[in-house]
Structure 1
Amino acid sequence: MNSLVRSLARSLGGLLRAVLRAIATVIVVPLLLFEEWGWEPLAALVARLSRLPFWAALEDRLRRLPPWGALLAFFVPVLVLLPVKVLALFLFSNGHAATALTVLVLAKLVGTALVARIFQLVEGPLMRIPWFARWYPRWKAWKDQVLALVRQSRPWRTVKAINRRISRGWRRLREG
C-alpha cells in the first residue's frame, strides 16, 4: 500500500509539473518573443537619448554603480511605470478598454526600452553578483533554446515569409 501511495504521488507530481510547464510556456513564450523582438531596437532608441547632457550623465552614473546598486536600478522603471499601470486598470474599470490597452502597451514598450538599456549599462557589475553570474547564463541558454524551437515552428516560418513579402512589396511601392 505504501509503495502505491508513493507511486501515485510521483505520478501526480509529474502531472503537476507538466501542467505548470504548459502554463508557463503559454505565458512565458509570448513574453520572450516580445522581449526578443523589442530588446535591441528599443535599447538602441533609448541610447540615442545619451546625446542629451542630462541623459549622458545619468548613463555614466549607471555604468559606475556597484553590483547591488546595478540590481536596484532595474526597479526604477517598475516604480516609474506603476502609476501608469494603475491608471490603465482605472481606465479598464471605467469601460475604456481600448485606451487602457493602449496605455498598457505603451508602458510595456517604455519599460522594455528602459530595462534593456539599463541592462546594457550595468551587465558588468551584475555579473559580479555570484548568484546572478551563475543563473543569468543558464536563463539565457534556456531562452535561446526556447526561441530556437519557436523559430523552427511552421507558424513562425509562415509569418516570417509573409513579412518578407510585405517588406518587398512595400519597398517596390516606395521605389516605384
Structure 2
Amino acid sequence: MKRSRTLRNRLLSPLVYLAALILLFEDWLWDLGLRPVRLVAAWPPLNALERRVAALPPYGALCVFVLPAVLLLPVKILALLAITSGHPFSGVAVTILAKIGGATLVARLYILTRPKLVTLAWFAHWHGKFMDWKNVWVGRLKASAAFRRVSMVSAMLRASARRALARLRPHGIGERHASRPVRMLRRLIAIWRARHR
C-alpha cells in the first residue's frame, strides 16, 4: 500500500509542478493584461465603448464575452498550420501573442460583463459551481510542497530581475540631466494628464 502510494506520488509530482507553473503563469498573464488595459481604458473612445459593453443586456453581454474565443480560434489554427509547415518560430510567436492578447481581452470583458452575466440563472449556477471547484483545486495546489517551491523560485527570479533593472537605471538623473526628447515627452504627458482630469 505504502509502496503504491509512493509510486503514485512520484508519477504525479511532475504534473503538480506543471500545474503550479501554469497557475502562476495564468495569474501573471491576468495581472500583466489588466495593467495596460486600465491605462488604455482612460482613452475616451475606449471608455465610451466599455460603458456600452457594461450597459448591454445579459445575452448581449454573453455574446461579447464569448467573442474573443471565437475570433482567436482561426488565429490559433493558422499558428498551428505555420508550425506544421516549417515555420515553428512564427507559429509559436503568434500562439503566445494570441494567448496574451486573448487573456487580456477576456479578463477585461469578464470584469465588464460579469454583473449582467450572473443575472442569467444558468450562468450564475455554473459560474458558482466552477468557482467553487476552482477554489478547491487551487487551494489544494497552493497547499502542496511543489507549489511552494515553484512560488519561492518564481519570487527569487522576480527579485533578481528587479535588482538587475534597478542597476541598469541611472540614479540621480533629474529633469535637468534628462535628454531633450525625454523632457519633451514628460511635458506632453503632464499636459495631457492635466487636460483629462
Q: TM-score, normalised by structure 1?
A: 0.74
**CA shift digits 1:101-148 (9 cap, x unpaired):** 121111011111101100100111101100111121221111111111
Secondary structure, aligned partner of 2:48: helix
Superposed CA RMSD in Å reads 2.6
Quote the Cα distance in structure 2 between the aligned partners of 1:169 and 1:35.
21
1:94 maps to amino acid: S
Secondary structure, aligned partner of 2:41: helix
2:78 maps to amino acid: L
Query: What residue in structure 1 maps to residue 194 of structure 2?
Result: none
1:44·1:117 contact (CA, 8 Å) conserved in 2?
no
Quote the Cα distance in structure 2 between the aligned partners of 1:49 and 1:76.
20
In the alignment, does 2:75 pair up with 1:84?
yes
- Quick check: which one's helix share is greater? 1
Secondary structure, aligned partner of 1:65: coil
Which residue of 60, 79, 87 maps to 1:96?
87
**Structure 1 residues 79 and 30, CA, compared in 2 at 3 Å: closer, same or farther?**
farther
In the alignment, does 2:59 pair up with 1:68?
yes
Quote the Cα distance in structure 2 between the aligned partners of 1:159 and 1:31.
7
2:60 maps to amino acid: G
Structure 2 unaligned segments of length 5 or more: list them. 1-11, 168-197
Quote the Cα distance in structure 2 between the aligned partners of 1:172 and 1:43.
24
Structure 1 unaligned segments of length 5 or more: list them. 1-21
CA drift at 1:80 = 2.8
In the alignment, does 2:36 pair up with 1:59?
no
Query: What residue in structure 1 maps to residue 39 of structure 2?
Result: 48
**CA shift digits 1:27-85 (9 cap, x unpaired):** xx579724444224413332322122221111011100100011111232123323322
1:43·1:117 contact (CA, 8 Å) conserved in 2?
yes
Count residues in correspondence: 151
2:51 maps to amino acid: D
CA drift at 1:154 = 1.9
Quote the Cα distance in structure 2 between the aligned partners of 1:151 and 1:132.
27
Quote the Cα distance in structure 2 between the aligned partners of 1:167 and 1:31.
14
**Structure 1 residues 96 and 157, CA, compared in 2 at 3 Å: closer, same or farther?**
same
